[in-house]
Amino acid sequence: MNKKTAIILISIVLIASACNQRQDRTVNPESAIATETKEKPIEYQSISDRLNLLDGQIFRRNRELASLVNWTSVGGSLIDTDSNDKDVKFAVGHYIDENGNVIVTLEKLLYGALELIGFKVLDAVNVGKLNENEIFQSVLCRLNEVFDSKIVAVVIYENDKEIFDNVVRAWRIDTETGKIIEIDTERVDCEHYWYDA
């Protein structure tokens, strides 16, 4: 199995597990992990304020975090760090709120003795609302026509194209610093996962 196929399969598993969360998706903010703040109550804070509260938070499901109570996980992907270590260490989370705002998180995977036990948020970026013809791609993006699991992007969706080359914004996931860094879109494109020629 090649690296591209493995990343696709793992991404599908992540998306399926996000979709297979409990039927009752409402969480009482009081039962979520509290994040200390001396400012406005969480439901009245700006997206930027909520993102700042995510740094360093540990969770098993995004609904456990007060800052993400009203956000839905809509996907993500694992990041290949090209290390010799067999365990994947990082993931990208993709969340959307009831108003269509999109945030992206860099998460460190936390392992117990035998299994994945949770995630630690290292960084979060407010992508904002996407236009009707835009989608967020966290898998199968390329830099200089080379697949790179550390590149994520907002692209213009065109059903008849195998490669989305009209990139609106792009970011590089820096696993060394634990940051999501916006990059120039000129040499970035993403493969259309469901393209059928």
Where do the structural domains in the chain lie, given as residue ranges? 3-191
For the sheet containing 58-59, what is the strand order? 58-59, 116-129, 101-111, 90-97, 71-79
Cβ burial, residue 156 (10 Å; 0-12/13-18/19+): middle
Where is pLDDT greater, at 103 or 116?
A: 103
Q: Is residue 26's pLDDT more than 60?
A: no
The span from the CA of 69 to the CA of 66, in Å, is: 5
- pTM comes to 0.72
- pLDDT (mean) for 161-189: 95
pLDDT recorded at residue 143: 95
Mind listing the pLDDT tens digit for each residue in 60-72?
777 677 777 788 8
pLDDT recorded at residue 6: 52
pLDDT recorded at residue 27: 39
Cβ(75)–Cβ(92) under 8 Å?
no
Q: Which residues make Cβ contacts (< 8 Å) with residue 39, sequence separation at least 6?
A: 45, 49
Q: Is residue 34's pLDDT more than 90?
A: no
